[in-house]
Amino acid sequence: MPIVTQVPALSSPPTNFFGLIQYVAQRVPGYDFSEYGRELNSAYIHVFEEVSKLKNHYFTNQVSVTVAIDGQRNFDLLYNADGNLSTAVDSRLYQITRIRVKSPNASLFQTCTMTHFNDPEFTSIEAFTGTIGAQTGPYYFALFGHGRLRAAIPLAIGTTLEFTYTYWPLALSFMSSFNPVSSVSSAGSTVTGTGSTFTQIVPPDFQSAVPTAGVVNEQFMQAELICNGQVAAGGQTYRVAAIASDTALTTMTPIVPALAGGSQGNWTICSAAPWDRACAGD
Q: Are residues 82 and 148 in the same domain?
A: yes
Residue 282 lies in a domain: no
Q: Are the CB atoms for 110 and 137 separated by under 8 Å?
A: yes
For 168-187, what is each residue's pLDDT tens digit?
Answer: 878 888 887 766 667 888 99
**Per residue in 68-106, pLDDT tens?**
999 999 999 999 999 999 999 998 888 899 999 999 988
Q: Where are the beta strands (DSSP E) in 42-147?
A: 60-66, 72-76, 93-102, 110-111, 113-115, 140-144
One domain, residues 161 and 64: yes
Q: Is residue 1 part of a domain?
A: no
Better-predicted residue by pLDDT, 196 or 13: 196
161 and 261 share a domain? no
- Which residues, 6+ apart, have CB-to-CB distance to 112 below 8 Å? 99, 100, 101, 138, 139, 140, 141
Domain end, chosen from 167, 200, 220, is at 167
Residue where a domain terminates, one of 113, 134, 167 = 167
**Strand duo 72-76 + 60-66: pairing:** unpaired
Task: Kindly state whether residues 131 and 69 are assigned to the same domain.
Answer: yes
Q: Looking at residue 1, what is its pLDDT? A: 41
Residues 200 and 259 in one domain: yes
Q: How far apart are CA 42 and CA 39, in angstroms?
A: 5
Is residue 111 included in any domain, yes or no?
yes
Same domain, 109 and 158: yes
Terminal-residue alpha carbon distance, the chain: 42
Q: pTM, whole model, 2 decimals?
A: 0.72
What are the φ and ψ backbone dihedral angles of 80, each rounded to 5 degrees?
50, 45
CA atoms within 13 A on the CB side of 126: 17
Q: In what order do the strands lie in the sheet with 148-155?
A: 72-76, 148-155, 140-144, 113-115
What share of the chain has pLDDT > 70, as a percent?
A: 83
Residue-number span of the structural domain to which 113 is assigned? 59-167
